[in-house]
């Protein structure tokens, strides 16, 4: 599977549909997140969407956006339930490091995944907090 990398302002209607389909399945259906997924960042030129796909659509997905602080933030990391355990999200995280690892990268990890993100060089940068009803841990990967 080839990683697709598309800027927010270059997404097709099909891309948007496929991205929201996987995010809805994971965050709304599985994790019961009742907050809106649409936050105004997806279609911005400073947002990059990365995903792997098979005939049924995206298998694993994440997005990277440049925040008001000028730092790249990783979010919406998810893998389709039937595709977990194959290292797909890890491939996407490695691609993020390859593309932007020369700068600082930040994310808010679901707390139970803190050790997994540590394996990619991220370290805790603050206290846990609740976001969208889920405990999260702020983490940063320093520029390499």
Which run of H or of E encompasses 107?
A: strand 105-110
What share of the chain in percent tops pLDDT 70?
100
**Assigned fold of 4-141:** Aminopeptidase (3.40.630)
The CA distance from 58 to 37, in Å, is 17
Say if CB 76 and CB 62 are below 8 A apart: yes
Three-class SS state of 14? helix
Nearest to 138 by CA among 82, 71, 52, 44: 71
- Report pLDDT digits (tens) over 98-110: 999 999 999 999 9
Average pLDDT across the chain, whole number: 96
DSSP string, 17-85: HHHHHHHIIIIIIIT---S-S--S-TTSTTEEEEEEEETTEEEEEEEEEE-TTS-EEEEEEEE-GGGTT
Domain ranges of the chain: 4-141
Question: Looking at the predicted structure, is the pLDDT value of residue 74 above 90?
Answer: yes
The CA distance from 79 to 87, in Å, is 10
């Amino acid at each position: 599977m080839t990683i697709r990398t598309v800027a927010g302002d270059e997404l097709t209607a099909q891309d948007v549909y496929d991205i929201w389909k996987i995010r809805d399945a994971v965050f709304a259906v599985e994790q019961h997140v009742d907050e809106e997924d649409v936050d105004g960042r997806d279609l911005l030129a400073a947002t990059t969407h990365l995903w792997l796909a098979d005939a049924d659509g995206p298998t694993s997905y994440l997005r990277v956006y440049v925040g008001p602080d000028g730092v790249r933030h990783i979010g919406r990391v998810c893998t389709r339930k039937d595709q977990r355990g194959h290292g797909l999200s890890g491939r996407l995280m490695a691609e993020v490091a390859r593309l932007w690892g020369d700068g600082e990268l930040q994310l808010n990890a679901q707390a139970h995944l803190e050790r997994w993100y540590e394996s990619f060089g991220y370290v805790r940068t603050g206290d846990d907090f609740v976001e969208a009803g889920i405990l999260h841990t702020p983490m940063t990967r320093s520029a390499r």
